[in-house]
Amino acid sequence: MIAKNTRVVVLTGAGISAESGIRTFRASDGLWEEHRIEDVATPQGWRDNPQLVWSFYQQRRRQLLEVEPNPGHIALAELERYLDDFLLVTQNVDDLHERAGSNNLIHMHGELEKLRCEDCGHIEAMMDEEHLTDVFVACTNCGSRLRPHIVWFGEIPLQTHEIENALSQCDVFIAIGTSGHVYPASNYLHKASMHGARTICINLDPPENIEFFNDFFQGKSGELLPELVEQWIKDSTVE
C-alpha cells in the first residue's frame, strides 16, 4: 500500500516514452541503428564530427513537437500530486513528464529541449523554429557554440547526489520501462533495497534484474499505471 506519507522514488526509462512514439535506443527500429554510439553519443564523437552529432540530436529535438504524453506519464503526475514525498528520476531526455504535469523531476541524462554552451556552461531551453535547424546555435550569454544538453557515454549523470540521497530514504522504489542493465540506474534498485524500500517493476518485458524486485507487473505502463495509481490512492484513502 502506498499511503499519502509514503516516500516514493520512481525511475523511468525508454519504455514509457516509446508508448508515446519516441523511438528507443535498443528497439529493432531504434533511432541509433544508422550510427555507431561512438559517433553520435560520446564527447569524442562531438570533437570528431560535431555536425553529424548536432544534426542527429536536432532530429530528435524536432520529434518532440510530434509526440504527446501518454496515460502512464499522466498517472505519475497524479501520484506526485497525491503524495507528500515523491521524486521522479528519468533516464529519458524528452519533456513528456513535464508536459503531463510532473514537477519534482530529475533528468539524469539531460534534456533534449535544452542546449548548453561549450565555454561558459550556460543552459537554456531553445525550441523555437530557428533553434531546430541543422545550423549550430550560438550562446545568448557569450556567443560561443552550443551543444546538446545531453549526458553522453563517458560523462557523469546529473544530480547523482540528490538521487542517491532520495534512494536512501524512500519507502517504495518503482522502476518503469527500464532494461535493468544501464549503469548507474541499474544499481538504484539495490540502493533502495539496501535501505529497506519495497521495490516494484512495471515493464513490457522482464528486466535483467527482475529477481531482485518484490513485485513485477508485466505490460504497457500506459495501461497498467493508471489502474495501479488509482488503486494505491483508493486503498490508502480507505485505510
CA distances from 203 to 84, 159, 209 (A): 25, 25, 12
Based on the number of CB atoms within 10 Å of its own CB, is 20 exposed (0-12), middle (13-18) or buried (19 or more)? buried
109 noted as active-site residue: yes
Cβ-contact 225, 71 below 8 angstroms: yes
For residues 58 and 102, give the distance between their C-alpha atoms in angstroms, rounded to a whole number: 25
Cβ-contact 209, 189 below 8 angstroms: yes
Q: Read off the C-alpha cell for 225.
A: 499505471
Q: Is the peptide bond before 207 cis (omega within 30 degrees of 0)?
A: no
Q: Which of 109, 131, 161, 181 is catalytic?
A: 109
Catalytic residue set: 109
